[in-house]
Amino acid sequence: MISAGQPLPQVTENELKVMAYRDSLTGLGNRHRMREKVMAIAAERAEDPAPFTIGIANLDGFKPINDLFGSQAGDEILCQVAHRLKACIPDGATVTRHDGDEFAFLLPLVFEKNGAERLGQMIKEVLSAPYDLGDRNVRLSASFGFAIYPFAGEEFEELLKSAETALYRSKRRGRGQITVYSREIAQEMKRSTQLEQALRNAIIADTVEVHFQPIVRIRDEAVVGFEALARWIDADLGFVSPAVFVPLAEERGFIDALSDTLLRKAAEAALSWPRELFLSFNLSSAQLMDPGTAPSILATLGRVGLDPNRVELEITETAVMTSADTAERIIGELRHAGVRISLDDFGTGQSSLGRLRDFTFDKVKIDRAFVSRITTDRTSEHIVKAIIAMCDGLDLQVVAEGIEEKADADKLKALGCTMGQGYYYGRPVDAAATLRYLESHYRDFGFLECQRERA
């Protein structure tokens, strides 16, 4: 311990500098070192800006390994990665570690895309050999993003950001992918930023709408509920699919605001439906990772005055898998309040059966991919049949999605599927048209009387 009056240990300015530029775990340089190197080479080439490349490698699935084997094993792997990288990069290149399992390279002699991809491929192979942890071997893959100077950025920060964007693309495409920042990526980034701004404004202006698609009992085609589907038409961009803007809102971190607006509108509309009809609402995967989701949904339902017992939330397997503990807690809280949970797009995810055992769901929605081929493709028919039998055994309700033809409906009825949804029964329409749909489809149930009583 150092107390007052005692001389400080002697550290020379030079040693301090070395420490500030070094990653103490692996002995590689750190981000400051990379910055210094990139600035130096950029200055060198300022007169006649000859290209050079920077790259980032990120290990795939490193965190679960760290959690499973302990951080000491994790550190050991990082050191072995550092060692391999140092040994395999070309002469004159620099490798550094930034944070966690992210490494960066400066490649003065890589000038274009093909060169970057070739080098990425080589490094990827080097990193894929097993890691020796004494009592066991571990295998890992890595994803890569590359950015070429000066096209992808003239300053270090910009160049690194481009490489990170490319890396993010790689990660989105799966494991072990290599992406070089390109004109197309730059353009797409620009487009999504425009889209993001427009969508943020639309949320504030309250112009994102919800449409409703009937879910029916196949036996007699009686409507049992509606699925809410987000709709947005921008003045300049035109119709934008929710399959585009929902993931964008997730990626840019404002899915909560979007989802809250949509749920409020959907719940308000559901108030004027007959009480026995449910409202089914889609939750995005990001929401299943956020512990604030259940209270916020219940608060919205409370404000609008819609009974949680009339609400179902649709979630997907991938969403449940990404952050299983949090997802389980959220599902538990919602079910406790009376909300039912359905597993959406069933059959397209990765580990469907395991999920059904680990979590408590109320309903399964069979994906359109199987339903649409049910009359023409034997395999799809068998899969649907198996899902229905399994749901029967597990006491789960089952809905077939994407029913477009009477023949599909007949087939599903024969297979014992109880509920269905699709263009054959009705397309998604706005709240007013939904009420008109109910007027013509719900007469038997005294719906008109119930509306008149309210008025």
Which residues sit at the interface with ligand C2E, rule CB under 6 A? 213, 228-230, 241-243, 246, 259, 262, 282-284, 314, 344-345, 368, 402-404, 422-423, 428
As a whole number of angstroms, the distance between CA 213 and CA 280 comes to: 10
Q: The sheet that has 178-180: what strands, in order across it?
A: 94-97, 102-107, 52-59, 142-149, 178-180
The residue among 26 and 421 lying less far from ligand C2E, judged by its C-beta, is: 421
Of these partners, Ca ion, ligand C2E, none, which one is at the site of residue 342 (CB under 5 to 8 Å by kind)? Answer: none
As to burial, measured by CB atoms within 10 angstroms (0-12 exposed, 13-18 middle, 19+ buried), residue 44 is exposed
Neighbours of 141 (CB within 10 A): 14
- Tell the smallest beta-carbon distance from residue 254 to ligand C2E (Å): 12
As a whole number of angstroms, the distance between CA 286 and CA 7 comes to: 53
The residue among 164 and 408 lying less far from ligand C2E, judged by its C-beta, is: 408
Select from 314, 327, 400, 418 the one that contacts Ca ion (CB under 5 A): 314
Residues 323-382 that bind Ca ion (CB under 5 A): 344-345
Structure tokens at 40: 């130096």
Q: Hey, what amino acid is at 314?
A: E
How, if at all, do strands 142-149 and 52-59 pair? antiparallel
Reference 425, options 443, 441, 448; nearest CA is 441
The residue among 182 and 418 lying less far from Ca ion, judged by its C-beta, is: 418
The residue among 110 and 229 lying less far from ligand C2E, judged by its C-beta, is: 229
**Pair 104, 34: CB distance under 8 Å:** yes
Angle, helices 156-172/31-44, rounded to nearest 10 degrees: 120
| 317: contact with Ca ion by CB under 5 A | no
Residue nearest to ligand C2E (CB): 422
The residue among 63 and 423 lying less far from ligand C2E, judged by its C-beta, is: 423
- Tell the smallest beta-carbon distance from residue 184 to Ca ion (Å): 30
- Tell the smallest beta-carbon distance from residue 353 to Ca ion (Å): 18
- Tell the smallest beta-carbon distance from residue 12 to ligand C2E (Å): 57
- Tell the smallest beta-carbon distance from residue 29 to Ca ion (Å): 48
Neighbours of 4 (CB within 10 A): 4
The residue among 56 and 228 lying less far from ligand C2E, judged by its C-beta, is: 228
Beta bridge partners of 143: 58
Q: By rule CB under 5 A, what count of residues binds Ca ion?
A: 4
Stretch that binds Ca ion, among 151-159, 271-279, 281-289, 297-305 (CB under 5 A): 281-289
The residue among 69 and 359 lying less far from Ca ion, judged by its C-beta, is: 359
Q: Which distant-in-sequence residues (6+ apart) come within 8 Å of 300 by Cβ?
A: 260, 263, 264, 267
The residues that touch Ca ion, with contacts defined as CB under 5 A, are 282, 314, 344-345
